[in-house]
Amino acid sequence: MTGRPLRIGNASGFYGDRFDAMREMLTGGELDVLTGDYLAELTMLILGRDRLKDPGAGYARTFLRQLEECLGLAHERGVRIVANAGGLNPAGLADAVRKLADRLGVPVRVAHVEGDDLRTRYPDSLAAHAYLGGFGIAACLREGADLVVTGRVTDAALVTGPAAAHFGWGPGDHDRLAGAVVAGHVLECGAQATGGNYAFFAEGDVRRPGFPLAELREDGSCVITKHPGTGGFVDVGTVTAQLLYETAGARYAGPDVTARLDTVRLTQDGPDRVRVEGVRGQAPPATLKVGVNRLGGFRGEVAFVLTGLDIEAKAALVREQMTEALARTPPAETRWDLVRTDRPDAPTEETASALLRLVVRDPDQETVGRALSGAAVELALASYPGFHVLAPPGKGSPYGVFDDVYVPHGAVDHMAVLQDGRRVPVPPAHDTAVPDDPPEPPLPRPLPPGPTRHAPLGLVAGARSGDKGGNANVGVWVRTDDAWRWLAHELTADRFRELIPESGPLKVTRHPLPNLRALNFVVEGILGEGVAAQHRFDPQAKALGEWLRSRHLDIPEILL
């Protein structure tokens, strides 16, 4: 296709990502727009607690420190910056950036997007924010902004906004917007698209992956790549992994458009270049997602170390003792987990030891503190042989709970606020539809019978997993047609439950994506009330996919 593409890069996948990435992206090659994603469900809770202490806080302060080094550089190179670092206070961040620009002597026009804050609707929340789309960002850029900060927009909006402004797209350009959503979803987590957290990481040098960029064209297609000479690698696998991350079925609904992930086509377009095309879009749903973060209560934990022989009996003894002690002032919730990290005839004390974890929760901090500090410490000389704990139990720390609810588009005052103070309303989506539930796609012919070997799934399949509130998403993909013929028939929802036993009593939904040779599984409720509640050992399900890859099943030898 003719015409120069819009080059959009990413310099942050979360609040705390590599500080030098902004400079690396600005100096490493040509860019038109540089984006940064600083927000996540847990981040909003953290920023909410910050703002309780200081009403002027609530935004990602590291973004300001990055700009101190890079604002002049971006201005010299003509690169516009778009970031959601505004968090709970985008107006405050915009003012801080203007003061910084004045101090540095850099003539930068700063705008911000607001309207996502719905805390007045949810007065018991620390943070309640609608996920806005990209047209507020687009309005800021069309009015000449050089730097745009937002609060809670969708991660992909950081790309759909600049693309809509640059190409002149409107809300009805569903296919083009869907292509930009896919590009934005690939970029949003930074180095996860360039070899970071990648199942087949040994295939490239991922000690310091570069950050990704998209060469986006007017028709919505793009090429995912990275700056020359940076670490990591970009191939169909790294892009597939990120496409599956924290998505579910074939319809990826957002405030701008519903992108049809079952239409995405990926092809290798040269070294470190993957072409993304064919994406179709549909009208967005009539409602916006709202993330509500609230304080759930207080949480305390103690890990008893059980060493050597009779692990099960030692665990039973201390559990019985603690249960009796806790009955005096019972906390609202008690959870035990025995983690068998021990091995027979171990060469070190650590490898001879197992961990018995006790977690208690209660609305009252003192109840948590009494339950653990008193009861656990009193057993120090009166329990199993070798009694000790990993760390002294504390008084209990606050934990958060995340809920997602939905409101009509018109329930928010989506607003672009410009450098000169003008406020430009962003109209709600007028063309909406309920995302259709597509029929199950036809599966490929199964592989013919043949010899198998009992081996780890990860020898033939990659996986990436993550969290959406209390649910976990596990994407699994393979790299050949024959492997897809096997995986599509072998890894059913029931087989998934067998391989991941804790998902057994939960609802597991399987979503096939044949174009990607992939299956996406959603496990409902496995993360309890969300990451901030620390419900399980891996509270964001980051390694759930790697656990799945380590499980053994009968794999055809021709695939091995």
Place of tokens 């028709």: 219
**Segment 270-296, tens digit of pLDDT:** 999 999 999 999 999 999 999 999 989
Average pLDDT over residues 491-515: 96
Q: What is the pLDDT of residue 2?
A: 52
Number of CB atoms found within 10 A of residue 60's CB: 25
Pick 425 or 438 by higher pLDDT.
Answer: 425
Query: Rounded to whole angstroms, how far apart are CA atoms 114 and 88?
Result: 9
Planar angle of CA 153, 54, 298, nearest 5 degrees: 80
- Reported confidence tier of residue 528, pLDDT bands at 50, 70, 90: confident
Residue 45's contacts (CB-CB under 8 Å, 6 or more residues apart) are 126, 127, 293, 400, 402, 532
Could you give the percent of the chain with pLDDT greater than 70? 100
Q: Is residue 121 a contact partner of residue 398, using CB atoms and an 8 Å limit?
A: no
DSSP state of 372: I
Find out if CATH 3.30.70.360 is the number for domain 296-395: yes
Statement: residue 1 has pLDDT above 60 = no
Average pLDDT over residues 485-493: 97
Closest CA to 168 of 214, 218, 213: 218
Query: Rounded to whole angstroms, how far apart are CA atoms 50 and 39?
Result: 14
- Reported confidence tier of residue 440, pLDDT bands at 50, 70, 90: confident
Statement: residue 155 has pLDDT above 70 = yes
Q: What is the pLDDT of residue 290?
A: 96
The mean-pLDDT minimum among 171-180, 335-344, 522-531 falls in 522-531
**Segment 396-415, tens digit of pLDDT:** 888 888 999 999 999 999 99
Average pLDDT over residues 531-558: 91
What token pair was written down for 60? 């990602």
Average pLDDT over residues 452-469: 96
Pick 440 or 73 by higher pLDDT.
Answer: 73
* Mean residue pLDDT across the chain: 95
Closest CA to 529 of 345, 386, 350, 401: 401
Closest CA to 74 of 11, 153, 140: 11
Average pLDDT over residues 55-67: 95
**Residue 249: half-sphere exposure toward Cβ, Cα within 13 Å:** 13
Statement: residue 459 has pLDDT above 90 = yes
Q: What is the pLDDT of residue 41?
A: 85
Statement: residue 421 has pLDDT above 80 = yes
Q: Bridge partners of 401? A: 294
Q: What is the pLDDT of residue 329?
A: 84
Statement: residue 18 has pLDDT above 60 = yes
Query: Rounded to whole angstroms, how far apart are CA atoms 197 and 192?
Result: 6
- Reported confidence tier of residue 438, pLDDT bands at 50, 70, 90: confident
Statement: residue 69 has pLDDT above 90 = yes
Q: Bridge partners of 355? A: 305, 339
The residue extents of the domains of the chain are: 6-284+404-425, 296-395, 452-559
Dihedral sign, CA of 275, 133, 110, 119? negative
- Reported confidence tier of residue 530, pLDDT bands at 50, 70, 90: confident
Q: Name the strand (E) or helix (H) holding 97.
A: helix 90-104
Statement: residue 480 has pLDDT above 50 = yes
Residue 148's contacts (CB-CB under 8 Å, 6 or more residues apart) are 80, 81, 82, 83, 110, 111, 112, 113, 137, 140, 141, 161
**Segment 84-132, tens digit of pLDDT:** 999 999 999 999 999 999 999 999 999 999 999 999 999 989 899 999 9
Q: What is the pLDDT of residue 529?
A: 83
Q: What is the pLDDT of residue 138?
A: 98
Q: What is the pLDDT of residue 451?
A: 97
Query: Rounded to whole angstroms, how far apart are CA atoms 50 and 220?
Result: 39
* Overall pTM > 0.75: yes
DSSP state of 446: P
Statement: residue 534 has pLDDT above 80 = no
Q: What is the pLDDT of residue 316?
A: 98
Average pLDDT over residues 333-361: 95
The DSSP line for 228-288 is: TT-BS---HHHHHHHHHTT--SSEEE-SS-EEEGGG-EEEE-STT-EEEE--EEEPPPSEE
Statement: residue 531 has pLDDT above 80 = no
The DSSP line for 298-319 is: EEEEEEEEEESS-HHHHHHHHH
Closest CA to 233 of 211, 216, 215: 211
Pick 434 or 242 by higher pLDDT.
Answer: 242
Statement: residue 468 has pLDDT above 50 = yes
CA distances from 50 to 37, 46, 87, 469, 535 (A): 19, 6, 11, 21, 23
Alpha-carbon torsion angle 548, 266, 10, 27, nearest 10: 120
Query: Taking every pair of C-alpha atoms in the chain, what is the biggest distance, in angstroms?
Result: 78
Statement: residue 456 has pLDDT above 70 = yes
